[in-house]
Structures are given as structure tokens and as C-alpha cells.
Structure 1
């Protein structure tokens, strides 16, 4: 497939939006749950952003006629699972032990390597991303925040269905990347509003 350079550049937009949301989420969790939780959230967020950034870099290289370094795309699955697991624990730290989420991620990594497939990692990423969005949605007090977190959650599932389509045409990928950008932009704005609301209450 002749991958257009413009589409490859657009692929960085959801990564930037994701990074912005996580950058806002870490200090929020540090204030509300403590520095240790904030550090875990920061580590998990950095891993997730790295995974997205590496895949976007792979697409850019391919679009620019560079080498097809497939590992840059595949490693995303191996980074998303532990990254989202740490983020999910951070927002649920008061009710769940860290070792349970770490064990869940490790089990997925081991299963993926053992069977030579990435679906166990995709399952872990989906479960943990769902827990993250639902917990943040429940923490929200304003309808706008709830709508944005809800859109983020539903949009993530819609992205999964689009990505599972066998006919990954350029048109379909434009739709995917546009939706992905909106999904993570909604997350960033919702976290910003949530943190701002928290500051007002204090």
C-alpha cells in the first residue's frame, strides 16, 4: 500500500493528544492520591505514549520511503498492555493492589510470546483502558466531563472495530486516525476540566 505522508503525519496527532492528557492526569493523581500513585501513573503514561510514538514513527518511515522496521509497529502492543495496566491501577489505587495489575500485564506478555499472537495484549490493553475511562468518568462531576470520558471510552471500542476490518484502505485509515485524534483530544480536555474542577473545590 502506498501510504501517504500526510496520513503518516496525522498519526502523530492522537499521540500528542494522549501525551497531553496524561501530562495533566499525573499531577491530578499526585494531588488526590499521593506522589507514589503519581509516579506510577507517569511511568504507565510514558510507556503508552512511547508505544504510540514508535508506531507513528514506523508509518512515517514507510511513507517517506524509508526502511520498513516492523518491530516499531509490533512493539506498541507490548507497551500498551503494561502502560494501561499501570494507569488503571493509578486511578483505582485506593481499591486495588498494584501487584494484581502488574501480574495481569505480565500474564498477557507471557501468553503473547508463548502463542505468538498479540491478542492477549490487546485484551489487557482494552480491559485496563476501559477501567481507566470508567473510573475517571465516575470521578467527574460535570456533564461535559462525563460526556468527554464517555466519548473516549466508546471511541476506543469503535477504533478497535475499525482496526479489525480486513480492508484497511487509505480512506478507512483516514477515518481511523481522525477518530483516534478526537478520542484522545476528548480525553485530554476531560482530564483538564476534571483537574480544574478539583482545584476549584479546594
Structure 2
């Protein structure tokens, strides 16, 4: 379908919010891996948004570019989850499980020639990350931050059925994108609050 340029440009907004939020979580984890996670998540979002902008400007449909979304999001959220749950005793086990899940979904995606398996792995790691962030916020007594992280993952699950609808009209896509923007804004605000409460503290 034809995308209005305004719709394509707006698609960059939630990507910026999410990337900035993950970068702020560097203050929580204290590890450089969080920056790599932000780079992967940001790259996935920017790839999809850029592909949409190219189409809106009457360019070709760059399938390879928009198809990079879920593989990069999977790697980014898997890494972020591992950084948020870093523990000398069990980190290797978690990393091995994360690698196995990613590998299985990647192979499945290649076999069926569809991105759905990578969407599944993205959902798994995004959900685990949200649960961890909610737990960290609650442990610091920040109920609002916990609610914000909960709202972000709730939006993630709402967008799945919306995005799967066959009648992807421009109006529906505006609803999807603005909903996504609101969810990622909640994530950014939650990250801001968590980073502030974490100053001078070590992650439990």
C-alpha cells in the first residue's frame, strides 16, 4: 500500500523513545552490553522505519531492510534481559538458553520463509525484560515506573493482533503507530525514573 510521508516519518518517533530508554538503563546495569542492546534495538526499528519511508517517497520495497526488524529486536532484547539479570552464578546458563531460543527461531524462520518465528522470540525476550524492569521498579518502591513498564508491554501485545489484520488502511496504521508511540513513551519515562532511583545503588 501507499504510505503517507507523515506516517512514515512518525514511525521513527517510538524508535527514538525506545533507544533512549534502553541507553538510560545503562545506569541500572552498569555494563556496556546495555549500549550494544540499545544499538541493536535501535537498528531494528530504524531499518523498518527507513524501509517504510523509502516506499512513501515512491521508492522500492526494500524487503531485506524491513525484514531486519525482528532479528535485531530479538538480539537486542535478549542482550538487554541478560544485562538486567546479570549474576555470576547463572548468567552463563541464561545466555545459553537465550542463544538456543534465538537459534531455534532463526532456523524456523528460514525453513518457513516467514518472520513469524522471530516475532515469537522477540515477544519472549521483550516480555522477560518487561517483567524484570517491573520487578526492579517495585523493589525500589516506584509504583509509577512499574505501571509504565507494564503499559509498554501491554501495548506490545495489543499491536500484535492489530498488525495481523489484513485491512491495513492508513487510518488503522495511524492508530497502530500512535499506540506504539505511547507505549514507548511510557517505557522511556519508566527508564528515566528507574535510572534516577538507581543512582548510588547497585542492581539487586
TM-score (norm 1): 0.91
Whether 1:102 and 2:95 are equivalent positions in the alignment is no
Mean Cα deviation higher: 91-100 or 74-83: 91-100
Whether 1:139 and 2:132 are equivalent positions in the alignment is no
Whether 1:190 and 2:190 are equivalent positions in the alignment is yes
Quick check: 1:108–1:121 contact (8 Å CA) kept in 2?
A: yes
Whether 1:57 and 2:50 are equivalent positions in the alignment is yes
Quick check: 2:34–2:79 contact (8 Å CA) kept in 1?
A: yes
Aligned to 1:199: 199
CA distance in 1, matches of 2:194, 2:200: 10
Alpha-carbon spacing, 1:183–1:101, altered in 2? closer, same or farther (3 Å): same
Aligned to 2:69: 76
* Deviation, structure 1 residue 39: 2.5
* Deviation, structure 1 residue 41: 2.3
Q: Between Structure 1 and Structure 2, how many residues are aligned?
A: 195
Quick check: 2:22–2:37 contact (8 Å CA) kept in 1?
A: no
CA distance in 2, matches of 1:146, 1:163: 26
CA distance in 2, matches of 1:98, 1:200: 27
Partner-residue secondary structure (3-state), 1:199: coil
CA distance in 2, matches of 1:132, 1:78: 16
Whether 1:118 and 2:115 are equivalent positions in the alignment is yes
Select the residue among 117, 124, 129 that pairs with 2:126: 129
TM-score (norm 2): 0.90
* Deviation, structure 1 residue 93: 2.1
Partner-residue secondary structure (3-state), 1:163: helix
CA distance in 2, matches of 1:155, 1:117: 23
CA distance in 2, matches of 1:86, 1:200: 24
Moved over 3 A (4+): none
Quick check: 2:27–2:199 contact (8 Å CA) kept in 1?
A: no
Aligned to 1:12: 12
* Deviation, structure 1 residue 152: 0.6
* Deviation, structure 1 residue 42: 2.0
Aligned to 1:93: 86
Quick check: 2:74–2:118 contact (8 Å CA) kept in 1?
A: yes
* Deviation, structure 1 residue 201: 6.0
Partner-residue secondary structure (3-state), 2:150: helix
Select the residue among 21, 36, 49 that pairs with 1:43: 36
Partner-residue secondary structure (3-state), 2:168: coil
CA distance in 2, matches of 1:89, 1:39: 12
Partner-residue secondary structure (3-state), 1:56: helix
Aligned to 2:170: 170
